[in-house]
Amino acid sequence: MAPLESARRRRGHRTHRVAVLLVTLLAGLVALPGVATAAPAAQLNAADMTLLNGVRLAGLWEMPAGQMAAEKGQSARVREIGAEIARQHEQLDLLVVEAANKLGTILPSDATAEQKGWLGEMQEATGAQFDQIFVTRLRVAHGKIFPVIGAVRAATRDATVRRLADQANKFVTDHMAMLESTGLVRWQQMPPAAMPPAQSDSLVAAAQAGTPVGPTASVGTTVVWVVFLLALGVGGYTTWRVLRRD
């Protein structure tokens, strides 16, 4: 009876090994094709960061500029819109900081040297000269960020960035209208509306390019299928060897 029981145990072990191999192959059959067709994870690109940084930097100098206009503007209209632009930029700054925190990215904490130069220019000006500098500087700055917002809104793959673009678009449109209502915008001196070439390093070109930030890694479908078929072949051969034993 002992040899008979030993043979049964051997057949039981062999059956168990075959079952394990078949289950493994079946799992590979289900899982690998899914991996091959899975969509890549979304990530921020250069255009997204251009918008986030641009909105943040705008607030860092336009808030103090608006506060300055509210205090030293010669015309009542300049004082009024200065206070309103400063107030609205506080709201927009909260929105961009919230978006950056959600996306896990770091924003600038200080205005650029050029923006600080504009603030210094305003501090030294008085009367009608101040009003003109304030309106001109802010209107030109809003005109530069405006097409960036549109380009990013049209192409971004990130829902948070898209929402921020919608919010920023409303603020910037309102600010341009307010600045234009002063009658101080010198239209003949405004930069012409022209889209830069793709190789340009301007804000709009960066927004159009949509270049990913950092390297991206992906595995082609062909490679995955080769690995999958190789695994099937190895599994099939192993199963055949197990079945031939004894």
Which secondary structure element, helix H or strand E, spans residue 181, and what is its range? Answer: none
Clarify whether residues 82 and 178 are in a common domain: yes
CATH of the domain at 141: 1.20.1260.10
Query: Which residue type does 45 have?
Result: N
Per-residue confidence (pLDDT) for residue 29, from 0 to 100: 47
Domain residue limits at 231: 2-40+219-244
CB-CB contact of 96 with 172 (8 Å): no
CB-CB contact of 43 with 212 (8 Å): yes
Q: Per residue in 172-181, pLDDT tens? A: 999 999 999 9
Its pTM stands at 0.64
Whether 214 is covered by a domain: the verdict is no
HSE at residue 40, side-chain half, CA atoms within 13 A, is 12
Whether 122 is covered by a domain: the verdict is yes
DSSP 214-241: S------HHHHHHHHHHHHHHHHHHHHH
Per-residue confidence (pLDDT) for residue 230, from 0 to 100: 63
Could you give the 3-state DSSP secondary structure of residue 186? Answer: coil
Clarify whether residues 84 and 188 are in a common domain: yes
Clarify whether residues 26 and 100 are in a common domain: no
Clarify whether residues 122 and 11 are in a common domain: no
Q: Which two tokens stand for residue 174?
A: 């309102």
Clarify whether residues 24 and 145 are in a common domain: no
Clarify whether residues 16 and 95 are in a common domain: no
Clarify whether residues 109 and 229 are in a common domain: no
Whether 196 is covered by a domain: the verdict is yes
Residue whose token pair is 């079952």: 19
Average pLDDT, rounded, for the chain:
78
Whether 234 is covered by a domain: the verdict is yes
Q: Which two tokens stand for residue 8?
A: 């049964």
Q: Which two tokens stand for residue 122?
A: 């305003």
Clarify whether residues 33 and 143 are in a common domain: no
Per-residue confidence (pLDDT) for residue 243, from 0 to 100: 56
CB-CB contact of 53 with 45 (8 Å): no
Positions of the chain with pLDDT under 50: 1-7, 20, 23, 25, 29-42, 211, 213-221, 223-224
- Count of structural domains within the chain: 2
Clarify whether residues 36 and 99 are in a common domain: no
Clarify whether residues 57 and 147 are in a common domain: yes
Clarify whether residues 195 and 226 are in a common domain: no
Clarify whether residues 17 and 110 are in a common domain: no
CB-CB contact of 223 with 62 (8 Å): no
